Structure 1
Amino acid sequence: MWKNPSKYFAKTSVKYFERHKGEVNCCALSPDYQLLLTCSDDSRIHVWDAKSGLLKHKVKGHKGPVKSCCFSPDGSLFASSSHDSTVRIWRVETADCLHVLTGHSKCVETVSFSPDGTRLLSAGWDHMIILWEVQTGQRFKTYTGHQDATLCSAFSTDGSLFATGNWSYTVKVWSVNKDEPEIVLNRHKGNVSCLCFSVSGMLASGSWDKTIIVWNPRTGAIIFHLKGHEDWIRTLTFSRDGILLASTGLDKMIRLWDCENGKCIKVVKSMLEMTHVCIFSPEGTLMLAGAMGLQQL
């Protein structure tokens, strides 16, 4: 069992990032924790200095609300998806658009880089999942196994699997090189809103049913069914060693779970209205980014 969870929750101030003119749909921190991405219904992406709060780039290009954003593993690129049915890949240093990826016919809700940064996964309302070659911007593979909108996606840490969650209350686990899902996980009772793999191979899924399920993604076995949030789950992240799982929900609560026994070992009320990012820094400090602020706990 984790012996000292309190070290993850030292009180500090909140930095606010308030220049968007619409609801913020997603945030992402760069791999070195120096930059913060925010994307919004105002069709813009902002790149911030995470420590100072200064706006570095105001990125324009999408023609509709931007739904999702993420950094590449090496931090040199970021990707975004939009209600305009496109996915874009951008250079971090200059905020120039490297590729405009067209192939979806409806809103694209989620984008995820593979662990080696060579491919990008996108999915949304058209029931299609597309895997793209990052260097060329060409389509590598299309998967059509969903019968409903896909809300979230994640790659396993070794890159051999990816998972998608949808409005049909299911999680599907895919092998990159196969057309059909390896396994379908269907124990949630609400839309699946977030996914995260641990370094040890566990898969966590959060849902509108207010619960988190930790799975063995290769067998479909449930390791833990975590309950305690009072509203739907917004974000999930494992610590780098896979021992801890952090979760945030629309109940404004942050929960820290012990992945050895499934117990909740800490509950903290967020100072923010909604938490879009929840990650562990290399030093072990839990960083949280909200709809209009960045909070270090």
Structure 2
Amino acid sequence: MVNTTGRSTALPSPLTAGPCSQPQMMVVCPVKSCCFSPDGRLIASSSSDHSIRLWDVARFKCLHVLKGHQRSVETVSFSPDSKQLASGGWDKRAIVWEVQSGRKVHLLVGHCDSIQSSDFSPTSDSLATGSWDSTVHIWDLRVSTPAVSYHNLEGHTGNISCLCYSASGLLASGSWDKTICVWKPTTNNLPLQLKGHTIWVNSLAFSPDELKLASAGYSRTVKVWDCLTGKCLETLKGMLDVAHACIFTPDGKLLVSGAADVTR
């Protein structure tokens, strides 16, 4: 699990856009989002300098600097096959990139406010984006042209702060309205709405068997929910500061959370 601090960070970084030249240490703008590729080979990081960087994990080398956004880039996410990367931010646009070449594949325009979260479907043929316009858009990526259609999932009354697909295609969304919605995106059906957080939801993670959903609130707690009944099974406490992230281990036996207090 990787996480960001939102502070300016010293990183090996090129001085020009495109494929990175020999890295040099320099102070860059705050890193807003980062994630590992599913195959574990790459890390993508986004920044308030409007760019995304792709890093080789083994060599800690910058492979590409992706430029196309006009304002701070708030979210990045890899497709399950690690071949595509999605980004979104304050320019209200999402971009889908080809990882190997760094080429822009799709420009997705339709949200009315900042895009703060994104996640690919398990088959990589659609992308979910969550915005401060309180909607989730599901983009159909199966077309080969840059113009991509989408449909809305409406059920929240606050900013969408996090998204997470399950292996079977369920989609969970967390919001500033303190609720979590669990969707069947193909039917626009909303089978579950989970209530219990006292402040907005920061992070979501399905267990590998999809029986449980973990949620980290912008508080010192992480909740675990029953995906069949919507019942809160556990409220985990012990962090000294805000819980920023949560994720299950691949075998589903452990739940890992990250917080500003550098514990857990």
TM-score normalised according to structure 2 size? 0.89
Cα offset, 1:175, TM superposition:
1.4
**Match of residue 257 from structure 2:** 288
Say if 1:62 and 1:261 are closer, same or farther in 2 by CA, change over 3 A: farther
State the match for 1:208 in structure 2. 176
What does 1:54-203 correspond to in 2, within 5 Å? 63-178=28-143, 179-203=147-171
- Structure 1 position 181, deviation (Å): 4.1
User: Equivalent of 2:230, from 240, 262, 269?
Assistant: 262
Distance of 1:228 and 1:37 partners within structure 2? 25
In the TM superposition, structure 1's runs of 4+ consecutive aligned residues that sit over 4 Å from their partners are: 59-62
Structure 1 residue aligned with 2:8: 42
Cα deviation digits, residues 236-269 of structure 1 (max 9, x gap): 0001111110001013221111111111111112
Question: Structure 1 residues 156-165 or 82-91, which shifts more?
Answer: 156-165
Partners of 1:195 and 1:265 lie apart in 2 by 21
Distance 1:222 1:285 in 2: 28
Question: How many angstroms apart in 1 are the aligned matches of 2:241 and 2:186?
Answer: 36
Count of paired positions: 249
User: Does structure 1 retain, via aligned residues, the 8 Å contact 2:203–2:216?
Assistant: yes
Give the CA deviation at 1:216: 0.9
Map of 1:238 onto structure 2:
206
Query: What secondary structure sits across from 2:235 in the alignment?
Result: strand
Could you tell me which runs of 5 or more consecutive residues in structure 1 were left unpaired when the two chains were aligned.
1-28, 30-35, 47-58
Identical columns (%): 46
Structure of higher RCO (CA pairs closer than 8 Å, 6+ residues apart) = 1
Give 1:219-234 correspondences, 5 Å limit: 219-234=187-202
SS of structure 2 residue aligned to 1:293: coil
Cα distance, 1:76 vs structure 2: 0.9
What is the TM-score of this pair, normalised by structure 1? 0.79
Moved more, 209-218 or 157-166: 157-166
**Is the contact between residue 11 and residue 28 of structure 2 (CA under 8 Å) also seen in structure 1?**
no
Distance 1:185 1:281, change over 3 A: same
- What is the deviation of 1:221? 1.1
Instruction: List gaps (5 residues or longer) in structure 2.
Output: 13-23
